[in-house]
Structure 1
Amino acid sequence: MIKKAGKFILLTILFSTGLLCKAQDNIIDQIIWVVGDEAILKSDVEKARQMMLSRGDRIEGDPYCLIPEQLAVQKLFLDQAKIDSIDVPAAEISRGVTRQENAVIGNLGSKEKAEEYLQASMSQLREEWREEIRNNYLVSEVKKKLVGKKGSLTPSEVRRYYSQLSQDSLPYIPTTVEVQIITNEPVVPLVEIDKVKERLRDFTNRVNNGESFSTLAIMYSEDGSAQNGGETGFNGRAQWVPEFANMAFSLNDPKKVSNIVETEYGFHIIQMIERRGDLINVRHILLKPKVPEPEFEKAMLRMDSLVKEIKQGKFTFEDATPYSYDKDTRSNNGLMVNRGENSNYGTPRFLKEELPPAVAIAVDKMQVGEVSAPFRMIVPEKGKEVVAIVKLRSRVEGHVANVSDDYQALKEIVEGRKQEEILRKWLQGKIKDTYIRIDDNWKNCDFQYSGWIKDNDGKIH
């Protein structure tokens, strides 16, 4: 309690001066908001803006009004997460970092372009993403707890809601598409594979000679778990690809390093940390062989020939899908399934922004039944670049919702609104009861929530 009070007094003093000096690099920053005993810096806002742009996120409105409020709302939820003692699984963070890295690289084109645009090394970015992903997980868990079963609706409630809407206020269902895909991976030269294996054997020797596996993972691993020393957290066999799981569960000595194992992600060495029944916690180092540009050109030519033969009627797109390198779609005529955290989860329906960026660009102007030209893309989750072709299976144009065709979408819209109202009421109460100060230069905003601006006595304006 003393520490918290001291932090609060220090923030109040720093806020009154408007400046904060970062001792490690002597850069002057500015405190623009104080929420409880947490500060929001001007640099925090700028970092968030750059990250949103790098992912291709759409920013509605003035980012210098929108983002500080979002950060302030997050801090209120994080404070509740502390009260509720919510923990974040290490494996969840690792998976999130990998997804984030792949999304940014996929949107910006390459690791080098991402580092240049965000002005930080990939290892530094992973560390920042770890904190962001941890916070997002905590906020999500708090929201689930606050909403609980109160946000669910019965079919009769959905129909009643729909019947009470005027024609002008009916929800609009945006355009969705269904896409089939075939991918081809460029050949990785043996010399590149040998280079990776030689590096991994060197790491194994260094660990056996007393070096820390964790330190080597932080420095060299190309997996999202790198900043956690390669640690995955406790997982069962089903959470990993079979090759990795088989090797991990064969380990018994925490001091030993596994043989090199190849998976669809690249090449790994693994070290066991602890086993608990059917769960095991390991750390690993992942290296990915580099693919020379000429191999991508060859893959593009192979896929170009495939497209020509499909268009000539020698065989159909569906006939070729069993030979696709995408194991998740090749047994299903290449049909992509939406795995994003959204209303279309588990279906083949995608909004444009839910597709991998390169796929979204390819299908944007295509007609139903048309096959695209070959293009390069980063595979989500795996971070691997492949050559792909797609076929637009269907497109449902945006339309005003009706209860017979769009019941599930309506149900999710109504439930979402009900849940938003529950969370809004909670947030307004939290804002009212929390000490908040905003720099005068950041007050002239049309905030989503009321009550942010208070006088020195804590009264809301």
Structure 2
Amino acid sequence: MNKGYKLFAGCMACLLLAGMSANARQTGRHAAANDTAVVAKEEPKAPESAVIDEVVWVVGDEPILKSDVEVMRMQGQAEGMKWAGDPDCSIPEQIAVQKLFLHQADLDSIEVSESDVTSSIDQQIDYWLQMTNGSKEKLEEYRGMSIAQMRQQMHDDFKNQQLITKMRQELVKDITVTPADVRKYFEKLPEDSVPYVPTEVEVEILTRQPKVSQDEINRVKEVLRSYTDRVTRGETTFATLARLYSEDPGTARQGGELGYTGRGTLDPAFANVAFNLTDPKKISKIVETEFGFHIIQLIDKRGDRVNVRHILLKPNVSQDAVDKAKLQLDSISSDIKAGKFSFEDAASFLSDDKDTRNNHGLMAYNDRQNQTLTSKFQMKDLPTEIAREVEGMKVGDISKPFEMVNSKGKKVCVIAKLKARIDGHRASITEDYQVMKDLVLAKKREEFIHNWVVDKIRHTYVRINDRYKDCKFEYQGWIK
């Protein structure tokens, strides 16, 4: 359900170390173990160009191979990435830093769910498919392997990427800044370094969900019952049917498997059924949620987490129902313009959108990068359909009714009001305090992470190849 997959900037952009096979790692460990024996024989060193692979760094008990460095170099070139300083020095350093975070994540028992890893891999493959106009055959030909092989190759690296991200978040979760910190930073900032704030808008929405006919609901339920019968009779497996027919794009490719999940992250109706399942051979009754209708199969339970498969089907909405919902919104809009009630009152009492109804229709943006919730959206962060409508509107205008797919994957009809627009400008501490606070907080977190890495290096065994000892590294202490 995410909009798309984006690579992390900075050192996080370097995390996709595709191609580090188990055999290569094992070879690296043997090379590290036999290194002293090679030196003892004092054999003449082969030219560097003649060496196929070798251990170039050791961090803790983990080797970094020459091939690891070359893989990251090629990955960076393919992504158009620019390295800070000499790539021959910065690339192995970034790999070494990743190993420090992964080591700490292991010590702190940081975990990521298999479903999250799979979802990220799916997003990457979908992005690649877009580059080949959706041609699976062209993608497989270009990368020289099947889609299944791509998934297998990327799994460990994507899992490590998420572990590192989660570890970094854990390290800085308690860091805060005060208004005094923000003022002090802003006063010292040169005028040409003050950040530019793009145009931001505040938008209120009122939605009506077209009514699905009972005949369509009965049709969907009958299809789900047929799936249950086919699995029960042994004609096929639940996972096969999920891959073929489930309308949940995040799990269909995995045979409907969610991965180990806590109750709090699931729809309440779904969770009540999933956590009450006891027999993996039986399939649940049909469950209705905000997303549609489901059947569920238990895989396993671990404490307060459950792993299940599910098949989701969404009833189709007829054009007549859509037209009816738009007429209702037209009527509501006319009453608002006639002064019978305000848009905010109408959104509170008449809107079908639970996320905005309690806030008088005002939309909220969850800025995950800065871990903040705000009513101000940059145009690029609005749902496409809403951004298209409000782009040419004046403050106070109400749009004509339009269709969109909401966050639950359902078609809804909407009218939108442009509550406020703040044109792009240089940030000021009076008008853009949150922007400045986020900037100062990011700087403070960055400094903390830098100091943590330096301290971690100081307490970790590190051995590097002599040819790296004249490098200018970002972090101090690599050379003991």
Distance 1:405 1:367, change over 3 A: same
CA distance in structure 1 between the partners assigned to 2:406 and 2:321 by the alignment: 17
Please say if 1:220 is aligned against 2:236.
Answer: no
Per-residue Cα deviation, 1:280-311 (whole angstroms, up to 9, x for no partner) = 33221111123344543443343333323322
CA distance in structure 2 between the partners assigned to 1:308 and 1:173 by the alignment: 35
Q: 2:308 maps to which residue?
A: 282
SS of 1:372 mapped into structure 2: coil
Please say if 1:266 is aligned against 2:282.
Answer: no
Contact 2:69 2:92 survives alignment (8 Å): no
Q: 1:205 maps to which residue?
A: 229
Flag the structure with larger Rg.
Answer: 2
| Matched ranges for 1:244-259 at <5 A | 244-259=270-285
SS of 2:417 mapped into structure 1: strand
Equivalent of residue 144 in structure 1, options 169, 173, 195 = 169
Per-residue Cα deviation, 1:3-27 (whole angstroms, up to 9, x for no partner) = 426599xxxxxxx9xxxxxxxxxxx
SS of 2:377 mapped into structure 1: coil
Contact 2:186 2:429 survives alignment (8 Å): yes
Q: 1:438 maps to which residue?
A: none
Per-residue Cα deviation, 1:193-252 (whole angstroms, up to 9, x for no partner) = 333222211221122223432333233222212233322233343322222122223322
Please say if 1:180 is aligned against 2:177.
Answer: no
CA distance in structure 2 between the partners assigned to 1:434 and 1:345 by the alignment: 41
CA distance in structure 2 between the partners assigned to 1:130 and 1:203 by the alignment: 31
Measure how far apart 1:115 and its partner are.
Answer: 11
CA distance in structure 1 between the partners assigned to 2:120 and 2:331 by the alignment: 37
Q: 1:119 maps to which residue?
A: 135
Measure how far apart 1:329 and its partner are.
Answer: 1.3
Contact 1:176 1:352 survives alignment (8 Å): yes
| Matched ranges for 1:319-334 at <5 A | 319-321=345-347, 322-334=349-361
Equivalent of residue 194 in structure 2, options 167, 170, 181 = 170
SS of 2:365 mapped into structure 1: coil
Contact 1:77 1:139 survives alignment (8 Å): no
What amino acid does structure 1 have at the position aligned with 2:355?
Answer: D
What amino acid does structure 2 have at the position aligned with 1:138?
Answer: L
Measure how far apart 1:276 and its partner are.
Answer: 4.1
SS of 2:358 mapped into structure 1: helix
What amino acid does structure 2 have at the position aligned with 1:312?
Answer: A
Contact 2:194 2:426 survives alignment (8 Å): yes
Distance 1:258 1:225, change over 3 A: same
Contact 1:97 1:225 survives alignment (8 Å): no
Q: 1:238 maps to which residue?
A: 264
Equivalent of residue 342 in structure 2, options 310, 313, 316 = 316
> How many corresponding residue pairs?
392
Equivalent of residue 379 in structure 1, options 403, 406, 417 = 406
Per-residue Cα deviation, 1:398-427 (whole angstroms, up to 9, x for no partner) = 333333443332121022234446667999
What amino acid does structure 1 have at the position aligned with 2:298?
Answer: M
Per-residue Cα deviation, 1:369-424 (whole angstroms, up to 9, x for no partner) = 211112222213x2222221111122233333333443332121022234446667
SS of 2:300 mapped into structure 1: strand
Equivalent of residue 195 in structure 1, options 215, 219, 236 = 219
Q: 1:355 maps to which residue?
A: 382
SS of 2:210 mapped into structure 1: coil
**TM-score, normalised relative to structure 2:** 0.65
Give the aligned CA root-mean-square deviation in angstroms: 4.7
Q: 1:36 maps to which residue?
A: 68
Q: 1:458 maps to which residue?
A: none
SS of 2:346 mapped into structure 1: helix
Distance 1:357 1:178, change over 3 A: same
Contact 1:344 1:350 survives alignment (8 Å): no
SS of 2:396 mapped into structure 1: coil
CA distance in structure 1 between the partners assigned to 2:93 and 2:384 by the alignment: 29
Distance 1:186 1:170, change over 3 A: same
* Bigger Cα displacement from structure 2, 224-233 vs 136-145: 136-145
SS of 1:187 mapped into structure 2: coil
CA distance in structure 2 between the partners assigned to 1:185 and 1:166 by the alignment: 51
Contact 1:310 1:316 survives alignment (8 Å): yes
CA distance in structure 2 between the partners assigned to 1:97 and 1:261 by the alignment: 28
- Structure 1 spans left out of the alignment, 5+ residues: 9-15, 17-33, 47-62, 106-112, 436-449, 453-461
Distance 1:308 1:421, change over 3 A: same
Distance 1:42 1:385, change over 3 A: farther
Q: 2:478 maps to which residue?
A: none
Distance 1:137 1:3, change over 3 A: closer
SS of 2:288 mapped into structure 1: strand
Contact 1:4 1:37 survives alignment (8 Å): no
**TM-score, normalised relative to structure 1:** 0.68
- Structure 2 spans left out of the alignment, 5+ residues: 1-21, 30-48, 50-65, 138-146, 466-471, 475-480
CA distance in structure 1 between the partners assigned to 2:191 and 2:185 by the alignment: 13
CA distance in structure 2 between the partners assigned to 1:404 and 1:332 by the alignment: 25
SS of 1:336 mapped into structure 2: coil
Q: 2:396 maps to which residue?
A: 369
- Sequence identity (%): 39
Contact 1:174 1:397 survives alignment (8 Å): yes
Please say if 1:345 is aligned against 2:372.
Answer: yes
